[in-house]
Structure 1
Amino acid sequence: MRPMLDRLLKRLIVLGELDVIWPDGTASHYAGEPGPSATIAIHDESVIRHLAYAPGMAIGEAYMEGTLTPVNCTIYDVLHVLLASVELAERRIPVLRAQAMFNRIARPLAQMNNARNARRNVAHHYDLNGRLYSLFLDRDRQYSCAYFPRGDETIDEAQAAKKRHIAAKLLLDRPDLTVLDIGCGWGGMALTLARDYGAKVTGITLSVEQLTESRARAQAEGLSDRVNFELIDYRAVDRQFDRIVSVGMFEHVGLPNYQAYFETVHRCLKPDGVALVHAIGRFDGPAATSPWLAKYIFPGGYSPALSEVFGPLERSRLRSTDIEILRLHYAKTLNHWRRRFAANRDTIASLYDERFCRMFEFYLAGSELAFAVQDHMVFQLQLARRQDAVPLTRDYMVDTERVLARQTA
């Protein structure tokens, strides 16, 4: 198997340098154009076979198990070399091309997120020990892309800016507007809209852990009369709202359910209402979720190309009143999370174990690089049922956001 993996790496590394120390202690050097560099040690012969046949799954599993380790570098450095090269070389390497094709074919089954599967998939990631997320997220536990108007914000400042950015697009121009928050997380967005903008918010989630925390936060802040949190699937909501917001949830919907998702937004939005969907997407067209990410982090998850979003959106009869692409903002967000995770690694290991820490390190590093050197981005879609639901130009967004920024400075 070593000759097979050797040939793969010779073709793969087209940018940067990778040194491999094999189980017998010998070493190989692979280099392309000038770029990042890293060294790995493979400690078990079985890892070589897995890497040769299924590299997308094998490298993450080997790192988790400690049978593949970075040498004088981090897993971020290793993935930087590999992912930067994959972006350039994937289409001309048979095993990578075949794996990508198989993953594309298997997408509908993997993303069959009916109500039962959706709840199980959410529990897999979001019902982890709540203290874990407090150790690497911002104070408000915003687990989605932050917004960096200057570029040098702290994570708390950037997440506050993200909420202002979204609030401006929701056109919260009068008190007591009713808002549905689809996928409300730990309640930060819902509580902010109620506390700072006078909205009456219903937040929905499928995570028991998030529901408990959100309700506790609402009670502690004296907002229980303005914010209600429910454990319910988005498809089961049967009321109409003035505004709908969905941040970081669309990635869990799954391709087969996009039509139902947008039809739900249409059904639950009042005729003059405004909705805002904030989600991860990809620039380079339809693809598939990393098999490692789908198995260990986000089962049923997928970040779509916009071409996959607009067909179901158009059929739902919703109007796209504004579209914005956030480039590199999530790379900056994930860099903050990765560094905070590292600073609190010993505490996190005491909650779980070393294998869990390595799994999360691999996830955070790979995700950051997906935005920094690959094709991932974030899109925000402002939607309405009527074309005249929002002003004719975007000036109101910018003006409102600047006023809000001054008020909170």
Structure 2
Amino acid sequence: MERLLLRVLSRIVRRGSLTLILPSGHRETFGDGSGPPLAIRIASKDWERRIALDPEFEFGEAYMEGGLVIEQGDIGEVLATLMSQVGYQVPSFTAKSLMKLRFMVRRLAQFNPRERAQRNVAHHYDLDGRLYSLFLDADRQYSCAYFEHEGQSLDDAQLAKKRHIAAKLLFDRPDLNALDIGCGWGGMGLYLAENAAANVTGVTLSQEQHGIANARARERGLSERAEFRLQDYRDVAGPFDRIVSVGMFEHVGIGHYEEYFSKIADLLKDDGVALVHSIGRSEGPGITNPWIAKYIFPGGYIPALSEVLPAIERAGLLVADVEILRLHYAETLKAWRERFLAHEEEIERMYDSRFVRMFEFYLASSEMAFRHQGMMVFQIQLAKREGVVPLTRSYIAETEADLRGKERRNRIGLRLAGE
């Protein structure tokens, strides 16, 4: 297996400088010598065999379990070197066969009826609430931020994301009824209630998020405008003037796309506007990384637009606008990882060192996927008939400017009320 692993890395690493230290003591350096020198050590022959045969899964497994040790550099730098290689090819017959098999069974892995969907959500989102408060922004936005300029803080970029989405939803009059599918900890819904004077219904399958979202609504005096339910979106009754879904579509599963968009069409009024904000892949259909599927987002899948748009068409919805956010999520994940590592000792006390390595690997590998492997975020604006959305996109910037003024006024009001 030693020779196989060396052959695997020689086929992958053409640029950079990565030294591999094998259980036998053998050391070999790969790449052209550019960039910072990095070194990894494999702790045992068993891990050597497992990584060689199935690197897509076992590399993350080995790092999490301590079977792969970073001797020089950090896991983010190692993953950046591995994932940024130009012309990367699947390195072995076994790995190719596993990828083909995983593609063949991906619909089964993403089969998400109501009970399974709730279990999948609980797996990730019902962790100790303190964890997310340590690395997310103050509003607990657990989705891609919108960086308007270089150097913008994470909190400001997350606020800009909410503002950008609200502008595209066209809250042109007060008291519109809005549905937030996958409402998280309530940040998007509370923003719409507070700054767009909307009546918001948010739904989530996470008990942790449900409790916190309603508590936040009460604390901010918005309970009459914002209600958050522990409910599957498929069980919601409409209609609604506006529908928004941020960072939830990735959990739907490819076999449920038509069901998802048909439900949006059923719930949306004829003159309504909807917006879906989701991670996507710039290339064609693929598979969920098996390590991510097991430990982070079971049942999840990042779609290509070619898989999404046909389901929208079949649901009878019109695509009014598509925007691609390219490196925004890479910068978001970078900020999350920096904050996570700043609280590493505290998180280890909450869980253990294995959990810390698992979550660090998730954040680092996700960041590098956005930087180097064609991952992006799309925002698809939907309507049921022509003429609902203005002819040009100038209204977005104009509405954002108006929302900024409302944000300032509401922040002042909240400070006075708390004194």
- TM-score, length-normalised on structure 2? 0.95
Quote the residue 1:293 is aligned against: 292
Q: Distance in 1 between matches of 2:208 and 2:270?
A: 34
Query: Which letter does structure 2 place at the counterpart of 1:389?
Result: V
2:212 maps to which residue? 213
What amino acid sits opposite 1:388 in the alignment? Answer: G
CA distance in 2, matches of 1:305, 1:395: 28
**Corresponding residue for residue 24 of structure 1:** 24
Counterpart Cα distance in 1 of 2:206 and 2:317: 28
Structure 1 residue runs of 5 or longer lacking an equivalent are none
1:36 and 1:12 mapped to 2: Cα distance? 17
Map 1:260-275 to 2 at 5 A.
260-275=259-274
What does residue 322 of structure 2 align with?
323
User: Which stretch shifts more, 271-280 or 71-80?
Assistant: 71-80
Q: Given that residues 195 and 407 in structure 2 are in contact (C-alpha distance below 8 angstroms), is that contact kept between their aligned partners in structure 1?
A: no
The alpha-carbon deviation at position 282 of structure 1 amounts to: 0.5
1:63 alignment counterpart:
63
1:11 paired to 2:11: yes
Alignment check: 8 A CA contact 2:121 2:206 kept: yes
- Structure-to-structure mapping, 1:304-319, within 5 angstroms: 304-319=303-318
Aligned ranges for residues 48-59 of structure 1 at < 5 Å?
48-59=48-59
Listed as ranges, the matches of 1:314-393 within 5 Å are: 314-393=313-392
- Structure 2 counterpart of 1:108, which letter? R
1:364, 1:33 → 2: CA distance? 26
Please report how far the alpha carbon of residue 14 of structure 1 lies from its aligned counterpart in structure 2 after TM superposition: 2.1
Residue 35 of structure 1 and its aligned partner are, at CA, apart by 4.9
Q: Which amino acid aligns with 2:4?
A: M
Tell me the distance in 1 between the aligned counterparts of 2:167 and 2:389: 11
Following superposition, the deviation at residue 226 of structure 1 comes to 0.7
Output the aligned Cα RMSD.
Answer: 1.4
Counterpart Cα distance in 2 of 1:16 and 1:108 = 37
Cα gap change, 1:257/1:229 in structure 2, threshold over 3 Å: closer, same or farther? Answer: same
Residue 36 of structure 1, CA deviation: 5.8
Partner of 2:46: 46
Aligned to 1:138, the other structure's residue is in SS state coil
Residues 193-250 of structure 1, C-alpha deviations (whole Å, 9 max, x = no match): 1011100000000000000111111111111111111111111112110000000000
- Tell me the matched-pair count: 408
SS at match of 2:284: coil
Q: CA deviation at 1:163?
A: 0.3
Match of 1:2 in 2: 2
Mean alpha-carbon deviation: is it higher for 244-253 or for 94-103?
94-103
Give the superposition deviation at 1:97. 2.9
CA distance in 1, matches of 2:15, 2:281: 22
Larger CA deviation: 273-282 vs 61-70: 61-70
> Any idea what the Cα deviations from partners look like across 1:83-118, whole Å, max 9, x if unmatched?
112x62225753443332222112101100111110
Report the more deviating stretch, 251-260 or 91-100.
91-100
Q: For residues 87 and 36 of structure 2, what CA distance do their matches in structure 1 show?
A: 14
Contact map agreement 1:14 1:33 (CA 8 A) in 2: no
CA distance, structure 2, for counterparts of residue 192 and residue 352 of structure 1: 32
State the distance in 2 between where 1:351 and 1:157 align.
28
| Separation in 2, partners of 1:289, 1:35 | 29
Which residue type is aligned with residue 10 of structure 2? Answer: K
Counterparts of residues 32-111 of structure 1 (less than 5 Å):
32=32, 34-35=34-35, 37-85=37-85, 88-91=87-90, 93-111=92-110
Structure 2 counterpart SS, 1:270: strand
Q: Match for residue 204 of structure 1?
A: 203
CA contact (8 A) 1:179 1:244 kept: yes
Answer yes or no: is the 8 Å Cα contact 1:155–1:336 preserved in 2: yes
CA distance in 2, matches of 1:36, 1:285: 32
Instruction: For 2:306 and 2:182, locate their aligned partners in 1 and report how far apart those are by CA, in whole Å.
Output: 23
8 Å CA contact 2:179–2:200 kept in 1: the answer is: yes
Which is further off, 89-98 or 346-355? 89-98
SS of 2:266's partner is helix
